[in-house]
């Protein structure tokens, strides 16, 4: 079974600064997807970024980028130029590429606060 670990329960960043959120995972599969989701107080999960394991190039979406280290099974999220609206819970998640469905396995999440 796959597991996702987020060991930092909370992080804080100054507005306009950069912050990195850590995630490690464990799997025996070679093909899979990794995700970062944002969950504001409204509870609605929003996809931030997605990485296919077979792609060596790290995914980037505007101010969000990842550092994907497949051998180390590490998948960190970097948020540049942090904004007040970035404050939320962030979840790292995994799904199988070849499985019968794309069910997500989530980490415990990290609470990010942004200081004005």
Q: Does 16 bind other proteins (CB under 8 A)?
A: no
Measured from the CB atom, is 15 or 38 closer to other proteins?
Answer: 38
- Tallying the residues shown for the chain, one arrives at 116
Measured from the CB atom, is 28 or 101 closer to other proteins?
Answer: 101
Dihedral sign of CA atoms 67, 20, 39, 74 in order: positive
Binding mask 18-57 for other proteins (x = CB under 8 A): ------------------------xxxxxx--x-------
Q: Residues in contact with other proteins, total (CB under 8 A)?
A: 22
Q: Does 108 bind other proteins (CB under 8 A)?
A: yes
Measured from the CB atom, is 32 or 68 closer to other proteins?
Answer: 32
**Cβ 13 vs Cβ 115: under 8 Å:** yes
> How far is 105 from 25, CA to CA, in rounded Å?
10
Label the pairing between strands 10-14 and 105-106: unpaired
Q: Interface with other proteins by CB under 8 A: which residues? A: 4, 6, 42-47, 50, 91, 93, 97, 100-109
């Amino acid at each position: 079974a796959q597991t996702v670990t987020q060991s930092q329960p909370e992080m804080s960043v100054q507005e306009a600064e950069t912050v990195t959120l850590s995630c490690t995972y464990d799997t025996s599969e070679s093909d899979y997807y990794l995700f970062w989701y944002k969950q504001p107080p409204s509870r609605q999960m929003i996809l931030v970024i997605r990485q296919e394991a077979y792609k060596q190039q790290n995914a980037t979406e505007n101010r969000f980028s990842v550092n994907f280290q497949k051998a180390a099974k590490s998948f960190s999220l970097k948020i540049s130029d942090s904004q007040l609206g970035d404050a939320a819970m962030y979840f790292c998640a995994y799904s199988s590429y070849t499985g019968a469905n794309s069910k997500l396995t989530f980490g415990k999440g990290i609470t990010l606060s942004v200081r004005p």
